[in-house]
Amino acid sequence: MLENLRQLPRYRGLIQSLVSRELKARYRGSVLGFFWSFANPLLLLLVYTFVFAYVMPPPAGIKNYALFFFTGILPWTWFSASLLESSSSLITGGNLIKKVMFPAEILPIVTVLSNLVHFLFGLPILIAFLIFFDAPIELSELPWFPVALLVQLLLTLGLALILSALTVHFRDLKDILGNVMTLWFFATPIIYYWKNAPERIRPFLNLNPFTHLAITYQEILFFPADAATAGGPPGHWKWLLALGAGSVGLFLFGYFLFDRLRDSFAEEV
């Protein structure tokens, strides 16, 4: 396992090539092409703004609720799409896996990184609206944004490796996963503020790893720092670092499981 893990940096050229191919394939034949990577989050945010301004009343206590919601839904879309797509990445990439020297773990990694690129394309839209609505961003908290990004990347890669390996042997897992992700979404404080959740369910929210990522993004990009954290890290930083340590362990476990099942992939797909 460790030997294969050490080989990963050698495949960075292959990963870059496959990510580029994936991005081009996604918009092949469309008139606007890559522009949709910017247009989709812009249109999504405009829809949210219209709905919560004129159709549905936003939850009390949150000003610019559409922006609050978008701050959480943007990273969630990266996370959710990566897991759903990576679960079938080995099956759809069966022809590549059957090649003797092809590293199968590249396929779920490419899926995660492709969706990361789309997340990054959506960030300028989010930043523009944050500036437009004069969001109270603390400069001292901004260095924690790439930390949250790295933690989410490790968490997503670990889960993607596990799901892609298991789905080869249990095809029903892909259909089950869609329902699990829907439940997971509502169990994450994205459409509601975590402090507004009933006290009795907050311990369960803390068991959800994406809770701590969503809260961190909201604290960095949306909510003003309180008196205790002004000029310092976001108030949820201890949870973020704990999640980071757990994500490293999950990534290593995911790679271990993937490596153990590697020899059976070509036969099963």
Q: pLDDT of 55-100, one tens digit each?
A: 777 776 778 888 888 899 999 999 999 999 999 888 888 777 777 6
| Rounded Cα distance, 54 and 49, in Å | 8
- How many distinct structural domains can be found in the chain? 1
The amino acid at 135: A
pTM as predicted: 0.89
Distances (CA, A) of 217 to 128, 158, 237, 246: 16, 21, 11, 18
pLDDT at 231: 45
Instruction: Encode pLDDT of 30-39 as tens digits.
Output: 666 667 677 7
Angle formed by the axes of helices 106-132 and 12-26, to 10°? 60
* Rounded average pLDDT over 169-190: 91
Find the domain containing 167 and state its range.
Answer: 2-268
